[in-house]
Amino acid sequence: MSNLKKFTVHSPRKLPVIILADVSGSMESNGKIQTFNRAIASMIDSFAQEEDVRAEINVSVITFGGEKAQIHIPLQPAEKIEWQDMSAMGRTPMGNAFGVAQAMVEDRSIIASRDYHPTIILVSDGIPTDEWIPPLNNLITSERASKALRLSMAIGAEADNEPLQSFLQNQHPEIPVFRADEANQIKQFFRFVTMTISSRSRSINPNSIPVLNFDALDNFDDLDDEYTGCF
């Protein structure tokens, strides 16, 4: 009988990226939803090309528009995602999206204990139309989501800064809300996110959060965008 040890081949540990995407009716104006779709699709494509097996970047998109939030893309490896554009309609049930995100992050059948801390990104151009404070507090104080890196982006002048800023609380160092007043800045923000997550996936410890410098966004000009006006 062989005494050779049996080795178990473990799959790469997930590095989850969860996007909470406002798809309310106001996102239809000025090409916001089109630019948003292209920015996320480009980010996913970049993640799919990462070859470092230390951390496998997984992406999920939770949309909130109409009457409730829903999972647009279930959490899965970036390379397996076939992107389907989001459509804008209805109200802004942001609080419901926080609940969906918390359920996903806390579900160990989706994000295992061995996986790396997630990044959760909130993007909105308006004002929540449901109760958002209790579900947000539940999310950011929950056992696992409290360890996540949280980023937020306000699109246009009508975006309510309060929930976007509250989403970022209790992080050290403090992270500001990124404001996108032009279409090009949406894609700049997601290029910055791409760079940040890719850096984590290649690091010795992907749970270590790199220094975030939004000034670097000025280096990510994207002049080929169809929509270049202000919101």
Which structure tokens are listed for 171?
């992080």
User: What is the predicted pLDDT for the residue at 8?
Assistant: 52
User: What is the predicted pLDDT for the residue at 223?
Assistant: 42
Res. 15 pLDDT band, cuts 50 70 90: very high
Give me the phi and psi of 13, to 5 degrees please: -75, 140
Percentage of residues in the chain having pLDDT higher than 90? 74
Q: Is there a domain that residue 231 lies in?
A: no
Q: Is there a domain that residue 172 lies in?
A: yes
Q: Is there a domain that residue 111 lies in?
A: yes
| Domain membership of residue 91 as a residue range | 13-208+215-219
Q: Is there a domain that residue 107 lies in?
A: yes
User: What is the predicted pLDDT for the residue at 22?
Assistant: 99
For residues 122 and 162, the answer to whether their CB atoms sit within 8 Å is: no
Looking at per-residue pLDDT, the higher value among 39 and 211 belongs to: 39
pLDDT, tens digit, 9 for 90 and up, residues 144-165: 999 999 999 999 999 999 999 9
Quick check: bond before 176 cis, omega within 30? no
Spatial separation of the C-alpha atoms in residues 98 and 138, rounded to whole Å? 8
User: What is the predicted pLDDT for the residue at 48?
Assistant: 95
Q: Is there a domain that residue 224 lies in?
A: no
Domain total for the chain?
A: 1
Which structure tokens are listed for 77?
């490896």
Which structure tokens are listed for 56?
């496998």
Q: Is there a domain that residue 22 lies in?
A: yes
CATH of the domain at 49: 3.40.50.410
Q: Is there a domain that residue 75 lies in?
A: yes
Q: Is there a domain that residue 6 lies in?
A: no
Going by their DSSP bridges, the two strands 13-22 and 55-65 should be labelled as: parallel
